[in-house]
A and B are shown apart, each in its own frame.
Chain A
Amino acid sequence: MRVALIMTIDLTDQFTTETASDIDALFAGRTAPEDFDTLTALESEAIHIFREVAGEFERPVIMFSGGKDSTVLLHLAIKAFWPAPMPFPVLHVDTGHNLPEVLEFRDRLVEKHGLRLVVASVEDYLADGRLQERPDGIRNPLQIQPLLDAIADNRFDAVFGGARRDEERARAKERIFSLRDAFGQWDPKRQRPELWNLYNGRHAPGEHVRVFPLSNFTELDIWRYIAREDIALASLYYAHEREVFHRDGMWMTPGPWGGPDEGSPLQTKSVRYRTVGDGSTTGAVLSDAADNQAILDELTVSRLTERGATRGDDRVSEAAMEDRKRQGYF
């Protein structure tokens, strides 16, 4: 008896035929590189992971934040199933504190690829009292419950994330297939060994598996890949003039999370974002890098990691990321 069965995808449920012709247009006129270089090897690994999940799980979903890593993730997923449409919907956890450029970009991408978008909204939870605003105003930790509820409500059994192991010490310990219990928790001491390229996706009802196809990409690989594939990103990744104020060593955009702060008035600066997260915790860096090549040049000489430079939430404690992951964060 064969245990693994091929999963048939009902395309009519999620996609139109117009979508399919867009997919052809997306890669028209390209030539496959004969060389098996680093980027092609990383791409092949990610594509292999997408196809394994499509073959073994019932209801996968791609987490999409509008950031560069999830945009690359989506690009790879679409490539993996070409010329058929990508057989997954996308899930956005909207904190209500997103920068407007991110939401515009999300909606444009959804329309362009004919994706089915599921939105889990932190604002909804705040409105009906299921969550309460934190004293520090930071909403990143508040994403966990809407995320886990969306996974449970939609019975998603595999949840793709764009996390990379080079981002953070705790993420360096993460498996490509990461089993989460019914509470979405990560237990670093009880991880399954990952052997060869054989991924074990078995899970009990109620459990799910987080899947990280970009595990072995570094920030530099991501940018090289964006440049090579000519992937369109949210505009705030590229240097632009913006009114910002200084807080905790970062350049913040004012918004519902406050600002400008007393003693730190608005200033117009040429900045760009290295990561896109909640507007209350993500800062911009001073930069003149307005295109992919300039960003690659800038990264090569940068002495700061992207998270160290622009993410307030990782500075909370030595184990901030590990603690959030244990609670069900991605």
Chain B
Amino acid sequence: MSTETTAQPDLLRLATAGSVDDGKSTLVGRLLYDTKSVLADQIDAVTRASVDRGLATPDLSLLVDGLRAEREQGITIDVAYRYFATPSRTFVLADTPGHVQYTRNTVSGASTAQLVVLLVDARNGVVAQTRRHAAVLALLGVPRLVLAVNKIDLVDDAAAVYRDIAAEFAELTASLGWDPSAVQSIPVSALHGDNVAVRSENTPYYSGPTLIEHLESVPVDAEPDTVGLRFPVQYVIRPRTPEHPDYRGYAGQVAVGTARVGDPVVALPSGVRSTIGRIDTADGPLDAAQPGRSVTIVLADDIDVSRGDVISSVGDAPTPVREFAATVCWLAERPLRTGARVLVKHGTQTVQAIVDTVESRFDEQALAVAPAPEELGLNDIGLVHLRTAGELPVDDYRASRRSGSFLLIDPASGNTLSAGLVGNALEAVRTVAGQPA
């Protein structure tokens, strides 16, 4: 339970992870069902479709598998977003497929998640897929984890099984860098609803919260704020109307830190300094704007700032660079090789870049880092060196998920090629890999 006295934000973004047959769809269905987020006509539609297929009982996976191909094949193909709410919090859940080959979906779903529910089957415990997913989630810097030990009703001596799995997972996550307070294990039966919304009488050895209780109470402001203000400028607002002839505001969303009226700032990459004169919204001015808030900043001085620039706090402003190391999760069929020409989209800025070297590849099977691969293929994670055509004010991803993240885009097709993490985020998984990254 949270012991913080500050008011909890009432929106939690979460994602699911786990392998194919661990009951993920059932758990998502159960969360929706128990929070009364599934309405009668949706149940009716699923019942009708199940009868059409000759099934004796409604197949609840039809509630969530929205595409023809998914229903035909009985698998989940792509990330879907689910919404449910309790009286105290609203939840946006990225429901990701569990197939080993779909690491890209785990990466997509987890990139914005404040919490990930990782499922294991109590009969199998922590398996290779669990370790892989935990490593990827550590790499992405997901602040909080829940281990749902599912199908707990199917094991003998559940108390001992649960205790052993929870202990093994705690050891794994600690080695990957999570604080023990950020990790919660819960024995559940998604099929029967044990410890999801209702505390189960079948798990007397477990005294912690139910899954819903935990999701309602977990602090969501846990993102480490290790850098100051980062405000990528999206758009310059210049009304040129009689009422606002000289108005020049910088529209954007606070990425990191807090913008405060009166704070000294520096515009990057130019390095010109000023002070925050006003923070405007259509609803009136604000004294301060926290991360995630879309506002318009008016600077005290008339300096040249445009889309792609970053308004930063002065003390810890990043030095704009043209070369940097980055960890990439390769999401495209076309492999990445040394010398590739790509686009880097960082914040509101897109620049051309060349991949100078592909330095190493993270072997998800062996949880080890192999030096100098020839290429990175679909779902590979590796360390590369990038050279960009323009200066980018990047932060290390481990210091900031927002200002340390970028996309690689194919200049020819326009497709998104990779998730990019500035710096050697692979070091975070070094311990589990058992060797230096």
Can you list, as one digit per residue, whether each of B269-287 has a CB less than 8 Å from chain A (1) or not (0)?
0000000000011111110
Can you list, as one digit per residue, whether each of A98-139 has a CB less than 8 Å from chain B (1) or not (0)?
000000000000000000000000000000000000000000
Q: Do B80 and A173 touch (CB < 8 A)?
A: yes
**Complex interface: chain A residues within 8 A of B66 (CB):** 168-173, 322
Q: Do A20 and B241 touch (CB < 8 A)?
A: yes
Bound CA span A30–B283, Å: 5
**Complex interface: chain A residues within 8 A of B402 (CB):** 196-197
Bound CA span A309–B90, Å: 24
Q: Do A32 and B283 touch (CB < 8 A)?
A: yes
Q: Do B238 and A84 touch (CB < 8 A)?
A: yes
Q: Do A188 and B67 touch (CB < 8 A)?
A: yes
Q: Do B64 and A169 touch (CB < 8 A)?
A: yes
Q: Is B82 an interface residue (CB 8 A)?
A: yes
Q: Do A196 and B111 touch (CB < 8 A)?
A: yes
Nearest chain B residue, comparing its CB with the CB of A219: B83
**Complex interface: chain A residues within 8 A of B64 (CB):** 169, 172
Q: Is the interface of B mostly helix, strand, loop or mixed?
A: mixed
The segment from A48-56, A62-70, A149-157 that touches chain B is A48-56
Task: Report the minimum CB–CB distance from B398 to chain A (whole Å).
Answer: 15
Q: Is B239 an interface residue (CB 8 A)?
A: yes
**Complex interface: chain B residues within 8 A of A5 (CB):** 307
Q: Do B308 and A2 touch (CB < 8 A)?
A: yes
Bound CA span A193–B351, Å: 20
Q: Do B81 and A216 touch (CB < 8 A)?
A: yes
**Complex interface: chain B residues within 8 A of A268 (CB):** none
Q: Is B311 an interface residue (CB 8 A)?
A: no
**Complex interface: chain A residues within 8 A of B146 (CB):** none
Bound CA span A41–B247, Å: 26
Bound CA span A215–B112, Å: 15
**Complex interface: chain B residues within 8 A of A48 (CB):** 234, 252-253, 294
Q: Do B351 and A20 touch (CB < 8 A)?
A: no
Bound CA span A6–B389, Å: 18
The segment from B123-131, B169-177, B409-417 that touches chain A is B409-417
Q: Do B234 and A55 touch (CB < 8 A)?
A: yes
Q: Do A21 and B243 touch (CB < 8 A)?
A: yes
Q: Do B306 and A80 touch (CB < 8 A)?
A: no
Given A37-B10, A51-B235, A220-B85 in contact, is the A191-B78 Cβ separation under 8 Å? yes
Given A80-B294, A193-B104 in contact, is the A33-B239 Cβ separation under 8 Å? no
**Complex interface: chain B residues within 8 A of A30 (CB):** 282-284
Nearest chain A residue, comparing its CB with the CB of B254: A44
Bound CA span A165–B242, Å: 41
Nearest chain B residue, comparing its CB with the CB of A318: B49
Bound CA span A192–B413, Å: 12
Nearest chain B residue, comparing its CB with the CB of A29: B284
Q: Is B352 an interface residue (CB 8 A)?
A: yes
The segment from A237-245, A283-291, A298-306 that touches chain B is A298-306
**Complex interface: chain A residues within 8 A of B105 (CB):** 193
Task: Report the minimum CB–CB distance from A273 to chain B (whole Å).
Answer: 17
Q: Do A55 and B290 touch (CB < 8 A)?
A: no
Nearest chain A residue, comparing its CB with the CB of B247: A83
Q: Is B401 an interface residue (CB 8 A)?
A: yes
Can you list, as one digit per residue, whether each of A156-190 has a CB less than 8 Å from chain B (1) or not (0)?
00000000011011111100000100000000110
Find A44's partner among B45, B71, B294, B307 (CB 8 Å cutoff).
Answer: B294
Bound CA span A198–B235, Å: 15
Task: Report the minimum CB–CB distance from B15 to chain A (whole Å).
Answer: 12
Find A216's partner among B92, B292, B331 (CB 8 Å cutoff).
Answer: B92
**Complex interface: chain A residues within 8 A of B41 (CB):** 303-305, 308-309
Given A20-B243, A55-B235, A195-B107 in contact, is the A44-B405 Cβ separation under 8 Å? no
Q: Is A232 an interface residue (CB 8 A)?
A: no
Q: Is A319 an interface residue (CB 8 A)?
A: yes
**Which residues between 236 and 260 of chain B lie within 8 Å of chain A, taking CB atoms?**
236-244, 247, 251-253
Q: Do A6 and B307 touch (CB < 8 A)?
A: yes
Q: Do A11 and B240 touch (CB < 8 A)?
A: yes
**Complex interface: chain A residues within 8 A of B236 (CB):** 6
**Which residues between 53 and 81 of chain B lie within 8 Å of chain A, taking CB atoms?**
63-69, 71, 77-81
**Complex interface: chain A residues within 8 A of B217 (CB):** none
Given A6-B306, A20-B239, A82-B282 in contact, is the A305-B78 Cβ separation under 8 Å? no
Task: Report the minimum CB–CB distance from A44 to chain B (whole Å).
Answer: 4
Q: Do B235 and A6 touch (CB < 8 A)?
A: yes
Q: Do B67 and A170 touch (CB < 8 A)?
A: yes
Task: Report the minimum CB–CB distance from A34 to chain B (whole Å).
Answer: 7
The segment from B18-26, B313-321, B341-349 that touches chain A is B341-349
Given A36-B293, A195-B111 in contact, is the A83-B390 Cβ separation under 8 Å? no
Find B243's partner among A44, A83, A319 (CB 8 Å cutoff).
Answer: A83
Find A3's partner among B71, B80, B107, B351 (CB 8 Å cutoff).
Answer: B351
**Complex interface: chain B residues within 8 A of A52 (CB):** 234, 348
Bound CA span A32–B349, Å: 29
Q: Is B350 an interface residue (CB 8 A)?
A: yes
Bound CA span A31–B280, Å: 11
Nearest chain A residue, comparing its CB with the CB of B82: A172
Q: Do A218 and B407 touch (CB < 8 A)?
A: no
Interfacial residues, chain A to chain B (CB-CB below 8 A): 1-6, 11, 17, 20-21, 24, 26-27, 30-38, 40-45, 47-48, 51-52, 54-55, 78-85, 165-166, 168-173, 179, 188-189, 191-198, 200, 202-204, 215-216, 218, 220-221, 302-305, 308-309, 318-319, 322
- Chain A to chain B contacts (Cβ below 8 Å), 8 pairs: A21-B243, A82-B296, A84-B238, A84-B239, A170-B66, A195-B405, A198-B345, A308-B41
Given A51-B294, A198-B347, 15 further pairs, Cβ under 8 A: A2-B350, A20-B241, A30-B283, A32-B286, A36-B9, A51-B251, A83-B243, A84-B237, A169-B64, A172-B81, A173-B66, A195-B107, A195-B405, A202-B415, A322-B66
Q: Which 5 A-B pairs have the closest CB atoms?
A: A308-B41, A202-B414, A169-B66, A20-B241, A82-B282
